[in-house]
A = this chain, B = another copy of it.
């Protein structure tokens, strides 16, 4: 058993974006203070954090000073440089653990790991070079998607192949980065599970949400998902399998394609996840607090949903709809305090309570 962190303890958060912001607010609800480490200036999380360190991940002294002020370290994104983790891990516990990061930082490692767990993923192939791509077009075929192994998010670092003739262009779009080719999956819809595991091994999952993406970016998540219960159960079990295999502590997001042959895992994210934002208005303990509870060694919430919710991301010009949304009944706004509206930039989200 882990001793739960007491009131007043400090949670260190790597990354100062909207996820760090909402983690910080959740931590405050449990009486914790937060210290955010973020290279960029004026991070959204900084508005609601007790402390902010502005420094690059290469600044070893800043990392040490940060670690020494906190009781435990977590993160809002998976692409933290290994060298920074080495410095931090020597000083304070980091949850979720390095193994979860190692696996989710690399699409090839991740797909291999998921396959080893007995989960189904789309056909894939390692693409270190043009020859490998040519070979993979025989096995994986087209349509397919070439993705960089690392650092891709929200549709970035991806190129679609409609036919073998797209190969050269797609490879060029990778700019020399190691890549993986994924076979196209003919799915009826996408769902995701947000699940958590505590230090003593307890697991809790929120109801799976049904997701709609556009241009590679999540647009809406709806709960309950209109998917047979059998598949929703499969999804929760798959998430639990991943959590246990990784001896994981914290919240994990798992995305699935729903196909006639059952579920295919799209990807995992070792952190709170955009498709779990609905929990802020649908559950007594939301995904952000659930993550903080796990990281702090507190009992997990049971994940029970007391309201039906449609979460919609507010992206770029969607902010023009703010005056209307603010007037719409049953709508809970969650804005991120970002100064500049840019196309494709997540500016906030709205949780519409469709049944209370």
Chain A residues within 8 Å of B, Cβ to Cβ = 4, 7-8, 21, 24-25, 28-34, 46-50, 281, 284-285, 293, 298-299, 301-302, 304-307, 319, 323, 326-327, 329-339, 348, 351, 353, 356
Contact = CB atoms under 8 A, between A and B. Distances in A.
A356 B33 contact: no
A4 to B, nearest CB: 7
A329 B306 contact: no
A284 B48 contact: no
Contacts of A326: 293, 298-299
Given A29-B335, A30-B333, A299-B326, 19 more contacts: A7-B339, A8-B339, A21-B28, A24-B48, A25-B25, A28-B337, A29-B332, A31-B336, A31-B348, A33-B47, A34-B47, A48-B49, A284-B351, A298-B326, A301-B329, A304-B329, A306-B307, A306-B356, A307-B356
What copy number does this chain have within its complex? 2
24 contacts: A7-B335, A7-B338, A7-B339, A28-B337, A29-B334, A29-B335, A30-B333, A31-B335, A31-B336, A32-B337, A33-B47, A33-B337, A34-B47, A48-B48, A48-B50, A284-B329, A284-B331, A284-B351, A284-B353, A293-B326, A298-B326, A299-B326, A302-B329, A306-B330
A90 B156 CA distance: 51
A170 B327 CA distance: 51
Contacts of A33: 47, 337
A32 B334 CA distance: 11
B28 A48 contact: yes
Given A46-B50, A304-B330, A329-B304, A284 B281 contact: yes
